[in-house]
């Protein structure tokens, strides 16, 4: 099999992981703070590791990781129905990995896919268990349908955080500068925290997080990446600052300020990296 074909298959796997991550996070956030929600979040984190491994493999083959998201199953009236949907998601993943393991010849990639497959089988078992557990414990959908200024701010924040998570991950995979790569990975994890905080707050305030993103910068040159990242950070730091001033609830004010401070830190970190990258460009 040629490289191109392998890249296409791995990108399909990547899109499946992407869908699973968001589907499981939506479920976990909607369930509030219980034990089951924590376990589902832990599964989502394992899917993030799969996402990471697949993306790195795609890059090592000379490909570009896809930022598209596969099909999600976000319907269902009760938590146990959601869990049934998560079982189905895992079953699809298992079938796909089994097929791709057969079609891919490269032994390292085969090994990686087998490793991921074994996780998916274990997740399927976990979700099957959660179907009955949710029924027994009467786990509830804690989301509301409130629409107000606060919900709007949270919506905006979630959309932004999801966008930069994808953007920084893609930049981390495509840059050849090791320092930039490390920082991008680190800050993507920090943005994931923001996404979690805002989503939990959203459910708290009786809204419903819909996790969608806006345009992701897909520059391939490190200087262009950093310029785009600094631009977006400056803009959102100002937005968070304005929102923190406008909202009246103290808990939300505090959360928005905390995130703003992180974003300002990101501006500084990325600006330092850009300066160094520009200097290196001049030396070359
Ligand atoms: Fe996975
Ligand atoms: Fe953030
Ligand atoms: Fe940031």
Tokens describing residue 153 = 């701010």
Give me ligand 1 centre to Cα 260, in Å: 32
Q: Look at the block and give the residue holding tokens 């495509």.
A: 174
Give me ligand 2 centre to Cα 240, in Å: 9
Give me ligand 3 centre to Cα 168, in Å: 9
Tell me what pLDDT residue 33 has: 84
Q: Which ligand is nearest to the CA of 258?
A: 2
Q: Which ligand is nearest to the CA of 116?
A: 1
Give me ligand 2 centre to Cα 13, in Å: 27
Q: Which ligand is nearest to the CA of 17?
A: 1
Q: What are residue 206's phi and psi, to 5 degrees?
A: 70, 35
Tell me what pLDDT residue 284 has: 60
Spans of the chain below 70 pLDDT: 1, 283-284
What's the CA angle centered on 16, arms 161 and 88, to 5 degrees? 115
CB 172 within 8 A of CB 189: no
Tell me what pLDDT residue 6 has: 97
CB 195 within 8 A of CB 156: no
Q: Which residues are within 8 A (CB) of 268 and not within 5 positions of it... i.e. 6 or more apart?
A: none
Q: Which ligand is nearest to the CA of 44?
A: 1
Give me ligand 3 centre to Cα 270, in Å: 10
DSSP code of residue 219 = -
Give me ligand 3 centre to Cα 161, in Å: 8
pLDDT digits (tens, 9 = 90+) for 196-227: 999 999 999 999 999 999 999 999 999 999 99
pLDDT digits (tens, 9 = 90+) for 223-246: 999 999 999 999 999 999 999 999
DSSP code of residue 216 = P
Q: Which ligand is nearest to the CA of 50?
A: 1
CB 206 within 8 A of CB 232: no
What's the CA angle centered on 52, arms 106 and 273, to 5 degrees? 120
Give me ligand 1 centre to Cα 168, in Å: 20
Q: Which ligand is nearest to the CA of 265?
A: 3
Tokens describing residue 33 = 């703070």
Q: Which ligand is nearest to the CA of 183?
A: 3
Q: Which ligand is nearest to the CA of 229?
A: 3
d(CA 142, CA 207): 9
């Amino acid at each position: 099999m040629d490289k191109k074909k392998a890249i296409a298959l791995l990108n399909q796997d990547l899109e499946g992981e992407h869908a699973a991550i968001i589907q499981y996070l939506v479920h976990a956030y909607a369930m509030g703070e219980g034990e089951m929600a924590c376990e589902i979040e832990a599964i989502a984190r394992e899917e993030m590791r799969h996402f990471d491994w697949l993306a790195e493999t795609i890059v090592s083959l000379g490909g570009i990781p896809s930022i598209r998201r596969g099909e999600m199953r976000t319907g269902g009236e009760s938590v146990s129905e959601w869990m049934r949907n998560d079982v189905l998601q895992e079953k699809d993943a298992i079938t796909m990995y089994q097929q791709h393991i057969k079609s891919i010849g490269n032994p390292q990639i085969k090994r990686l896919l087998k490793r991921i497959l074994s996780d998916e089988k274990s997740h399927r078992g976990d979700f099957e268990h959660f179907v009955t557990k949710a029924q027994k414990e009467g786990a509830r959908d804690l989301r509301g349908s409130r629409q107000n200024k606060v919900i709007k701010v949270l919506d905006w924040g979630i959309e932004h955080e999801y966008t930069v998570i994808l953007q920084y991950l893609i930049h981390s995979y495509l840059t050849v500068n090791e320092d930039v790569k490390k920082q991008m990975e680190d800050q993507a994890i920090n943005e994931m925290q923001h996404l979690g905080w805002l989503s939990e707050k959203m459910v708290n305030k009786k809204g419903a997080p819909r996790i969608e993103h806006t345009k992701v910068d897909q520059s391939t040159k490190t200087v262009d990446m950093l310029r785009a990242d600094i631009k977006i950070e400056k803009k959102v730091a100002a937005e968070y600052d304005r929102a923190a001033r406008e909202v009246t609830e103290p808990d939300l004010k505090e959360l928005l300020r905390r995130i703003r401070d992180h974003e300002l830190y990101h501006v500084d970190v990325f600006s330092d990296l850009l300066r160094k990258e520009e200097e290196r460009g001049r030396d070359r």
